[in-house]
């Protein structure tokens, strides 16, 4: 990571609105190549496309990301400190349904391997990330589950579409 990656102050929306906000942001992000929706509260955002582990349908969400020391993007499955992991996390945790995912940053789409961080590695990344974005500590305090961190490692020269078609 090069330098701090803090956020600006913002109000966490009610959890029930988060999926609606994400859908609207995905729509705007896609239509503008990330000019709208590519950042929020001072944080860069990406589109993450997964395949539903049960439905087989393509799903895309807009997520803020943080960049680790190796330049990989890290997303946080916080769901604003909700009691359950977000659906996108369950989808990518199923390696059979999602051996790779698609990441879009601005107009650029790439294939990526999602690595769920655990143990000492997770703790080290958590400490660095929350030094920049302390609101994630507040989210962790709201829930009994351990909030997962997911590193998205680009796959060079890969097909960026995990479903083999244009995601919707």
Report the CATH number that the domain containing residue 39 is assigned in CATH: 2.30.110.10
Domain tally, the chain: 1
Residue 129: inside a domain: yes
Confidence of residue 166 (pLDDT cuts 50, 70, 90): very low
Distance between CA atoms of residues 129 and 157, nearest Å: 29
* Position 160 in a domain: no
User: Does 164 fall in a domain?
Assistant: no
For 73, how many CA atoms within 13 A lie in the half-sphere containing its CB? 23
Q: Is residue 4 part of a domain?
A: no
Residue at 46 is within a domain: yes
Residue 29 covered by a domain? yes
- 131 is a domain residue: yes
Mean pLDDT of the chain: 87
For residue range 53-76, what is the model confidence (pLDDT) as tens digits?
A: 888 899 999 999 999 999 999 999
What pLDDT score was predicted for residue 3?
A: 67
- pLDDT band, residue 39 (cuts 50/70/90): confident
User: Which domain does 84 fall in, by range?
Assistant: 15-154
Entry pTM? 0.84
Mean pLDDT of 122-150: 94
Tell whether 67 is covered by a domain. Answer: yes
Instruction: Over range 133-145, report the average pLDDT.
Output: 92
pLDDT over 70 at 14, yes or no: yes
Q: Per-residue pLDDT for 106 more than 90? A: yes
Cα separation, 92 vs 53, in Å, equals 8
Position 164 pLDDT exceeds 70? no
Higher per-residue pLDDT: 51 or 21: 51
């Amino acid at each position: 990571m090069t330098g701090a990656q803090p956020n600006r102050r913002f109000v966490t929306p009610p959890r029930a609105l988060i999926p609606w906000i994400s859908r609207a942001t995905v729509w705007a992000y896609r239509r503008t190549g990330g000019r709208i929706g590519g950042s929020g509260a001072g944080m860069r955002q990406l589109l993450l496309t997964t395949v539903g582990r049960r439905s087989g349908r393509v799903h895309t969400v807009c997520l803020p990301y943080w960049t680790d020391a190796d330049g990989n993007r890290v997303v946080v499955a916080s769901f604003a400190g909700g009691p359950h992991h977000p659906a996108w996390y369950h989808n990518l945790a199923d390696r059979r349904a999602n051996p790779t995912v698609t990441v879009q940053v601005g107009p650029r789409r790439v294939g990526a391997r999602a690595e769920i961080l655990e143990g000492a590695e997770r703790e080290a990344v958590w400490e660095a990330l929350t030094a920049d974005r302390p609101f994630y500590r507040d989210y962790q305090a709201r829930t009994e589950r351990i909030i997962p961190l997911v590193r998205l490692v680009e796959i060079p020269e890969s097909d960026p579409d995990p479903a083999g078609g244009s995601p919707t």
